[in-house]
Amino acid sequence: MPSNESSTDARPIDAHGAPSASAHAWTHTPSAAFDTLAHTLRDAFTSLGRELVAIKPSAARSRFATQAMLSVALAVALAYAFNLTNIWWAAISGFAVMQSKFSACAQRGVHRVLGTVAGALLGAVAGPLIGDVPWLFVPLLGVIAGVSVYRALVSDAGYAWVLGAVTSLMVTFEAHRLASASATATFALLRVGEVMVGTFACVAVSALFHAGVQQYRKSRGAATMPEAQAAATADRVDGRNPVTAQTVTVMPSDASLAVQTLEATHTARAEQAAHAMRKRLAWQSAWAVMILASLAYVWDLPGFAQAMVTAIAVVILPASALSQPTRRPIVTRMVQRLLGCVLAGAASLALLPLVGDDPLACMLALCVGVWLGCHVQTGSQGASYVGRQFTIAFLMVFVQDHQWSSDPMPAAMRLVGILGGIAVLAVVIAIGTARTERRAMP
Amino acid at 287: W
pLDDT-derived band at 119, boundaries 50, 70, 90: very high
| Pairwise pLDDT comparison (167 vs 438), residue with the higher score | 167
**DSSP category for residue 380:** S
pLDDT-derived band at 293, boundaries 50, 70, 90: confident
Amino acid at 13: I
The 3-class secondary structure across 277-337, one letter per residue, is HHHHHHHHHHHHHHHHHHHHHHHCCCCHHHHHHHHHHCCCCCHHHHCCCCCHHHHHHHHHH
Rounded mean pLDDT, 342-356: 81
Residue 71 is predicted with a pLDDT of 95
Q: How many helices (H) and strands (E) does the chain have?
A: 16, 0
The residue count of the chain comes to 442
Q: With contact defined as beta carbons under 8 Å apart, do 392 and 310 qualify?
A: no
pLDDT in tens, 176-226: 777 788 889 999 999 999 999 999 999 999 999 999 888 888 887 754 444
Rounded mean pLDDT, 240-265: 57
Q: Rounded to an integer, what distance in angstroms lies between the CA atom of residue 390 and that of residue 108? A: 20
Find the helix or strand (DSSP H, E) in which 397 lies: helix 384-398
**DSSP category for residue 157:** T
pLDDT-derived band at 116, boundaries 50, 70, 90: very high
Q: State the average pLDDT for the chain.
A: 77
Residue 88 domain flag: yes
Most confident of 180-194, 295-309, 417-431: 180-194
Q: With contact defined as beta carbons under 8 Å apart, do 341 and 295 qualify?
A: no
Residue 226 domain flag: no
Instruction: Specify the range with the lowest mean pLDDT, choosing from 162-166, 224-228, 327-331.
Output: 224-228
**DSSP category for residue 247:** B
pTM: 0.76
Residue 225 domain flag: no
Q: What is the widest separation between alpha-carbon atoms in the chain?
A: 75
Q: How does 165-200 read in b/e, with b if 16+ C-beta sit within 10 Å?
A: bbbbbbbbbbbbbbeeeeebbebbeebbbbbbbbbb
Residue 230 has pLDDT above 80, yes or no: no
Residue 412 has pLDDT above 80, yes or no: no
State residue 19 phi and psi, 5-degree precision. Answer: -60, 135
Q: With contact defined as beta carbons under 8 Å apart, do 394 and 373 qualify?
A: yes
**Residue 308: alpha-carbon gap to chain centroid:** 14
Residue 133 domain flag: yes
pLDDT in tens, 316-326: 877 766 766 55
Task: Give the up-direction half-sphere exposure of residue 233: CA atoms within 13 A in the CB hemisphere.
Answer: 7
Cα distances from 331 to residues 11, 298, 336, in angstroms, run 15, 29, 9
Task: Give the up-direction half-sphere exposure of residue 420: CA atoms within 13 A in the CB hemisphere.
Answer: 21
Residue 420 domain flag: yes
Residue 424 domain flag: yes
Rounded mean pLDDT, 93-111: 94
pLDDT-derived band at 422, boundaries 50, 70, 90: confident
Residue 2 has pLDDT above 60, yes or no: no
Domain limits for position 175: 29-214+274-440
Residue 382 domain flag: yes
pLDDT-derived band at 29, boundaries 50, 70, 90: low
Residue 178 is predicted with a pLDDT of 79
Residue 249 domain flag: no
Total domains in the chain come to: 1
Q: What is the DSSP string of 6-24?
A: -----S-B-TTSSB-HHHH
Q: How does 389-425 read in b/e, with b if 16+ C-beta sit within 10 Å?
A: bbbbbbbbbbbbeeebebebebbebbbbbbbbbbebb
Residue 296 is predicted with a pLDDT of 79
